[in-house]
Structure 1
Amino acid sequence: MVRAENLIVKAKCFIPIPPNPKNILSLKSTITSLMVDKGFEPENPTISGPTAGDAGVYYTFTACTTDPEGDNVRYQFDWGDGSVTTGWYASGTEVSLSHSWSSSGGYVVRVRARDVYGAWSGWSGLVVVIGEACPYVYAWNGSAYVLDNNVLVESEVSNGSDVEDFYKLEQAMAPYYAGDHFSVYSIMLGEFENEHSFIDMVRLYAVDHDSSVKIALTPDGQILTYSNPNPPVSAVDNYGYDWLSSLSEIDEIYYQGFPGDYLLLDFGSLDVSQAAKLVLRANLEWKKETCIHVQTLNETGEWEDAAILRTRNRWSTIIVDLADYLPNPEGTVKIRLYMTGVHKIDFVGLDTTVEQEYTITEATLFYAEHSESGKVTLKLLKSDDKYAELLPGEQIRLYFILPNKPADKNRSFIIQIEGHYYAIQ
Structure 2
Amino acid sequence: MAFESLSDRFQRVFKKLRGQTRLTESNMDEMLKEIRVALLEADVNFKVVKSFVSDIKEKAVGQDVYDKVNPSQMVVKIVHDEMCNLLGEDQSDLKLHNGLSIIMLVGLQGTGKTTTAGKLSKLLMKRGKKVMLAALDVYRPAAIDQLRTIATEVGADFFSKPGKPSELCLQARDEALAKGEDVLIIDTAGRLQIDEALMQELQDINHAVHPDEVLLLVDAASGQDAVNVAKAFNSSLHLTGVVLSKLDGDAKGGAALSIKYLTGLPIKFAATGEKMDDIEQFHPDRMADRILGMGDIVTLVEKAKDAIDEKTAEKEAKKMMDGEFTLEDMLRQMKMVKRLGSLGSIAKLIPGMPKLTDEQKATAEKEMKIFESVINSMTPYERRHPETLRFSHKNRIAKGCGLDNGAVNKVLRKFDQSKLAMKQLKQYAKSGKGMGGFGGFGR
* Greater length-normalized contact order (CA 8 Å, ≥ 6 residues apart): 1
Smaller-chain TM-score bracket: under 0.3
* TM-score normalised over the length of structure 2: 0.26
Q: Which has the higher strand share?
A: 1
* TM-score normalised over the length of structure 1: 0.26
